[in-house]
Structure 1
Amino acid sequence: MQPSNIRKPTDRPQRGPRGGPKGPPKRRRRFGIIATFFYLVFLFVPAVAVYCLARDTDWRVVAVYFCLVSGVAFLLNCDDKSRAQKGYWRVPEHVLHLAELAGGWAAVFVAQRILRHKTSKTRYQAAFWMIGLLHQYIACDFMIDWRMTKALFE
């Protein structure tokens, strides 16, 4: 009787889900220093605008709105990643972009880095960053009493 730990020439090494050798997962950095810097810079102006909005209105309504929108946007990205891995029908990109546009772009940025999802799709990233820039514009314009938008239409 042969011991069970001796490999036969026909035995192949086990492969992981991506075809590589099976073993402990490699540790990878999820948030690079540059990504963190841009995230904080991009978050600063809208955060100040939200603070000004919360000061003028009921802060609880503003806080609940942004928590809900951010949570939904994050969960939509988690669901899309899960569906992609299982081969199911995906969440349409326009739904993901609508969640970003509604105010969840900061949560989507975090979800992209944590899940490593939609980070290399150029068309999606271009739309994502345009939405982020639009949020910057709206936040700046709100803080200066909509002067830039008024100047555009005069």
Structure 2
Amino acid sequence: MNHLFDYGIILYLFLINTYVFLVMWYDKRQAERKKWRIPEARILMCGVLGGGLGGLLARSLFRHKTRKTKFLFCFLLGVVLDIVLLYLS
């Protein structure tokens, strides 16, 4: 395929995973401070759209959202999407 397309996919996956990781960190921080939180739907959607690896890493490092299986499922789905996109590029 086109190399520009390949780099675009890699850049997208890097950015979405970094975003989810940082959002999970921020949400955990806000939870500890008992302040406004990031809506779960936003985190879940970004996880499904390719941010699964960042979400799983943050989930493990920050011990955040570990009791909610929907996060595990969505993040795993996002990892599958990452693998498919990398395979197709």
State the TM-score, normalized to the length of structure 1: 0.47
Correspondent of 1:88 among 22, 31, 35: 35
Cα distance in 2 between the residues matched to 1:92 and 1:133? 19
Aligned match of 1:100: 47
Count matched residues.
83
Task: Find the structure with the greater CA-based Rg.
Answer: 1
CA distance, structure 2, for counterparts of residue 127 and residue 116 of structure 1: 12
Decide which of 62, 65, 69 is 1:118's aligned counterpart: 65
Pairwise CA RMSD of aligned residues? 2.3
2:57 equivalent to 1:128: no
> 2:23 & 2:64 partners in 1: Cα distance?
11
Of all paired residues, the percent bearing the same amino acid is: 25
Give the distance between the partners of 2:57 and 2:70, measured in 1 at CA: 16
Structure 2 unmatched runs, 5+: none
1:133–1:65 Cα change, 3 Å: closer
CA distance in 2, matches of 1:67, 1:80: 20
Return the offset for 1:72. 0.6
How far apart, CA to CA, are the structure 2 residues paired with 1:105 and 1:134? 4
Note if contact 1:76-1:91 (Cα within 8 Å) is conserved in structure 2. yes
Structure 1 stretches of at least 4 aligned residues deviating more than 2 Å after TM superposition: 130-139
CA drift of 1:132 comes to 2.2
Please list the CA deviations of residues 14-42 of structure 1 after superposition, one character each: whole Å capped at 9, or x if unmatched.
Answer: xxxxxxxxxxxxxxxxxxxxxxxxxxxxx
Tell me if the contact between 1:97 and 1:128 (Cα under 8 Å) persists in the aligned partners.
no
Give the superposition deviation at 1:75. Answer: 0.6
Q: Aligned with 1:90: secondary structure?
A: coil
Following the alignment from structure 1 to structure 2, what is the Cα–Cα distance between the partners of residues 134 and 99?
8
